[in-house]
Amino acid sequence: MARPTVDELREQVRGDVIAPGDEGYEEARKVYNAMIDRRPAVVVRPVNAGDVIAAVNFARENGIDLAIRGGGHGVPGFGTCDGGVVVDLSRMKGVRVDPAKRTAQAEGGATWGDFNAATHAFGLATTGGIISTTGVSGLTLGGGIGYLSRGLGLSCDNLISADVVTADGRFLVANENVNADLFWALRGGGGNFGVVTSLEYKLEPIKDIYGGPMLFELDDAGDVLRFYREFIADAPEEFGGFPAWQIAPPLPFIPEERHGETFLAFVACWAGPLDQGEAVLKPLHDVAPVVAEHVGPMPYPALNAAFDPLVPPGLQHYWKANFVKELTDDAIEAHLAHGPKVPVVNSTVHIYPINGACHRMAPDGTAFAYRDANFATVIAGMWPDPAANNANIKWVRDYYAATAPLSEEGGYINFMSEDDQSRIKANYKGNYDRLVDVKKKYDPDNLFHLNQNIKP
Ligand SMILES: Cc1cc2nc3c(=O)[nH]c(=O)nc-3n(C[C@H](O)[C@H](O)[C@H](O)COP(=O)(O)OP(=O)(O)OC[C@H]3O[C@@H](n4cnc5c(N)ncnc54)[C@H](O)[C@@H]3O)c2cc1C
């Protein structure tokens, strides 16, 4: 059978088909991580599931790679490729809210900014990430950790149904009743099983929250981390938030003479009754003097977008991650040794709490296996200057070398780099074999292999 050509693909697709030499190609081949420099044979920007089917068939029939791009934030740059097809969902951003049922259906290219704006209008929300420009799809398919996870569970725990284009070009609905094995695998298994064109979530009544960032002196960082370890173990589940190493950006709430200095930040989010917020945060506030803070009531989408300016597209990225059951004294010492060396304002380390509602899902209830971990740590190296790659990567690796032995073997797939493929089995623990079985059923030839790959 003759292999389909790009011109034939152009005839089938209602959205954009962008090949080398076409206007916009240089922009279309890029992802968020500027370290990634790849040249696909064609970038397809679908406007509907039919376009996605055409793109998947084109890749399979030509025997070339296929990359899926939701929000494009994936650090390893699996959202682009050399010589293959990129399915870039950025024209599919629609979000439909059903306020009566308290659900929302998002197209596969929506970001959390798109999602939160749509649901906030109805006073509703679900767990999303902490940056508004991250894609709903990639984040949810890997698990989904954010401000609301202690109360509502991971993003994938709030997924009700997904529409998926599989490797053979079929369009499948996956939920608890239909293709339940696929639905199980999608909730944590990443982009291994197909192109997800639409995701339906349950929502909860959350509109405004009480929270924001506070900065503590480095000398007090140990006390704050030790307090956090105890407090978060049984804090009310409406409390979300995390400590973060942070160089102070030039923001008005931070005294000018402290701009550029390194602090331990704590970003808090109280999603319970607003009038309780101050009291809930008081113990944290009392651990040590707060150098600067921007804490108060605000719309949930405002907190979700508050740190976007620190992480614009076009930075270099290198990340490492681990799950952590217990933040031991030794682990805190390792953080104290490496955190204050955070090299640039864009880089950070976050120690996210994933207890509370995240623990109520059984370890084999979804593909996301680490339901007994209390924290997900990410060492997020992000910097503007490619000439500084070696020094910044070294900081991430040194930090990781010190903390990994004090952590679980596996980590969160969405916080990992391309050189973490060897950890894939550890990331899924007891769920790995079942994931392989689902992969064999829905993608036996591993068409979807540009990801943290589960091999059939
Ligand atoms: C600045 C920043 C902040 C972040 N904050 C958080 C956070 O708070 N919480 C958190 O949990 N994670 C966070 N992450 C990690 C994030 O979850 C991952 O980077 C995730 O992969 C991003 O999804 P995306 O759709 O934007 O990225 P993409 O690069 O588009 O996608 C990443 C991968 O996901 C898969 N994928 C994406 N869309 C689809 C689809 N529609 N169908 C099938 N597969 C798909 C593909 O394998 C793709 O290669 C953050 C990342 C960045 C860069």
How many of the other CB atoms lie within 10 Å of CB of 3?
10
Nearest residue to 133 (alpha-carbon basis) of 150, 112, 155: 112
Mean pLDDT of the chain: 97
Beta bridge partners of 204: 125
Number of H-type helices and E-type strands within the chain: 15, 17
State yes or no: pLDDT of 317 exceeds 70. yes
Atom of ligand 1 nearest to the CA of 193: 43
Longest Cα pair distance anywhere in the chain, in angstroms? 72
DSSP state of 281: H
Distance CA 44, CA 143 (A): 26
Atom of ligand 1 nearest to the CA of 75: 19
Shortest-distance Cα residue to atom 47 of ligand 1: 191
Distance CA 438, CA 320 (A): 27
Distance 149 CA to ligand 1 centre (A): 16
Q: 130 to each of 12, 48, 127, 192, 455, how far by Cα in Å?
A: 37, 28, 9, 24, 30
pLDDT for 208: 98
Tell me the per-residue pLDDT of 171-201, one tens digit each, with 9 for 90 and over: 999 999 999 999 999 999 999 999 999 999 9
- Residue 184, H or E segment: helix 180-186
78 lines ligand 1 (CB under 6 A): yes
129 lines ligand 1 (CB under 6 A): yes
311 lines ligand 1 (CB under 6 A): yes
pLDDT for 202: 98
What number is the average pLDDT over the span 378-403?
98
Shortest-distance Cα residue to atom 53 of ligand 1: 73
Q: Are 108 and 137 in contact (CB under 8 A)?
A: yes
Distance CA 292, CA 264 (A): 11
Beta bridge partners of 95: 106
Distance 58 CA to ligand 1 centre (A): 24
Tell me the per-residue pLDDT of 188-243, one tens digit each, with 9 for 90 and over: 999 999 999 999 999 999 999 999 999 999 999 999 999 999 999 999 999 999 99
**Residue 342 amino acid letter:** V
Beta bridge partners of 88: 69
State yes or no: pLDDT of 245 exceeds 90. yes
Q: Are 319 and 347 in contact (CB under 8 A)?
A: no
pLDDT for 275: 97
How many residues are there in the chain? 456
How many of the other CB atoms lie within 10 Å of CB of 193?
30
- Residue 216, H or E segment: strand 208-216
Distance CA 259, CA 250 (A): 5
Distance 445 CA to ligand 1 centre (A): 23
241 lines ligand 1 (CB under 6 A): no
Tell me the per-residue pLDDT of 142-156, one tens digit each, with 9 for 90 and over: 999 999 999 999 999
Q: Are 371 and 187 in contact (CB under 8 A)?
A: no
State yes or no: pLDDT of 356 exceeds 80. yes
Per-position DSSP letters for 344-363, written without gaps between them: STT-EEEEEE--THHHHS-T
What number is the average pLDDT over the span 111-140?
98
Pocket test for ligand 1, best of 91, 131, 137, 451 (most atoms within 8 A of CB): 137
State yes or no: pLDDT of 327 exceeds 80. yes
Atom of ligand 1 nearest to the CA of 33: 53
Distance CA 278, CA 113 (A): 26
pLDDT for 2: 81
State yes or no: pLDDT of 322 exceeds 70. yes
Nearest residue to 87 (alpha-carbon basis) of 110, 105, 109: 109
66 lines ligand 1 (CB under 6 A): no
pLDDT for 1: 64
Q: Are 72 and 135 in contact (CB under 8 A)?
A: yes
Q: Label the pairing between strands 103-107 and 95-98.
A: antiparallel
State yes or no: pLDDT of 105 exceeds 70. yes
109 lines ligand 1 (CB under 6 A): no
The pTM of the whole model exceeds 0.85: yes
135 lines ligand 1 (CB under 6 A): yes
Q: 370 to each of 162, 175, 258, 274, 359, how far by Cα in Å?
A: 22, 22, 39, 31, 9
What number is the average pLDDT over the span 407-412?
96
Beta bridge partners of 213: 267
Looking at the chain, the whole-number percentage of residues with pLDDT higher than 90 is 99
Q: What share of the chain is helix, strand, coil (3-state, %, to 5)?
A: 35, 25, 40
74 lines ligand 1 (CB under 6 A): yes
Q: Label the pairing between strands 16-18 and 42-45.
A: antiparallel
Pocket test for ligand 1, best of 53, 69, 315, 396 (most atoms within 8 A of CB): 69
Nearest residue to 44 (alpha-carbon basis) of 101, 92, 111: 92
Distance CA 436, CA 456 (A): 5
410 lines ligand 1 (CB under 6 A): no
Pocket test for ligand 1, best of 414, 424, 435, 451 (most atoms within 8 A of CB): 414
Distance 245 CA to ligand 1 centre (A): 22
Per-position DSSP letters for 293-335, written without gaps between them: E--EEEEHHHHHHTTGGGS-TT-EEEEEEEEES---HHHHHHH
What number is the average pLDDT over the span 78-103?
98
- Which of 318-335 are b and which e, b meaning 16 or more Cβ less than 10 Å from the residue's Cβ? bbbbbbbeebeeebbebb
Phi, psi of 114 (to 5 degrees): -60, -45
